[in-house]
Amino acid sequence: MIVSLHSYIAFLALAVVLLAFINALNGFLTGREFQQKRDRSISLAGVAFFHLQFLIGVIVYFVSAKGFYALSEVGIGNLSSEARLLALEHPTTNLIAVALVTIGWSRHKKASSDKAKFKSVALFYGIGLVLILSRIPWSQWV
């Protein structure tokens, strides 16, 4: 149940972060004004969905046989490449991606110019998105 929830929310989280990235990149490239209601809401939704997805992922990691249990029972040296992806690479990379998106959100709040706000969101959300996409277990995803 929780594994399915983690998979389905991933679609929504990726879509919202992609929207936030595209919105920020567009704002940065066109030089438009950062609108608190629209642009801030889109960026906030991106960071919120990433955090929700990560929280559910942590729960999955500790209750699933493919996460922490596999790593502790078999050991890292005996994991297959697919098991290593699920037990080590996916959670570690996603932790880094969530941290980067959070940094982007925090930096945008402190930025003084509209261009700097858009740049912060576009840069950090974009890197986070690339990291997430690089470590999704595509063969096992819903």
Judge whether 47 and 76 are in contact, CB under 8 Å. no
- Does residue 15 carry a pLDDT above 60? yes
Judge whether 92 and 57 are in contact, CB under 8 Å. no
- Rounded CA-CA distance 97/116 in Å is 20
Report how far apart, in Å, the C-alpha atoms of 67 and of each of 28, 58, 122, 124 are.
Answer: 39, 9, 31, 27
Report the percentage of the chain scoring pLDDT > 90. 72
- Rounded CA-CA distance 128/105 in Å is 12
Alpha helices in 64-87 (DSSP H): 68-74, 81-84
Q: For 32-76, what is each residue's pLDDT tens digit?
A: 999 989 999 999 999 999 999 999 999 998 888 777 777 777 777
- Does residue 142 carry a pLDDT above 80? no
- Does residue 98 carry a pLDDT above 90? yes
Judge whether 46 and 16 are in contact, CB under 8 Å. yes
- Does residue 124 carry a pLDDT above 60? yes
Mean pLDDT of 97-108: 97
- Using pLDDT thresholds of 50, 70 and 90, give the confidence band for residue 85: confident
Judge whether 34 and 118 are in contact, CB under 8 Å. yes
- Does residue 91 carry a pLDDT above 80? yes
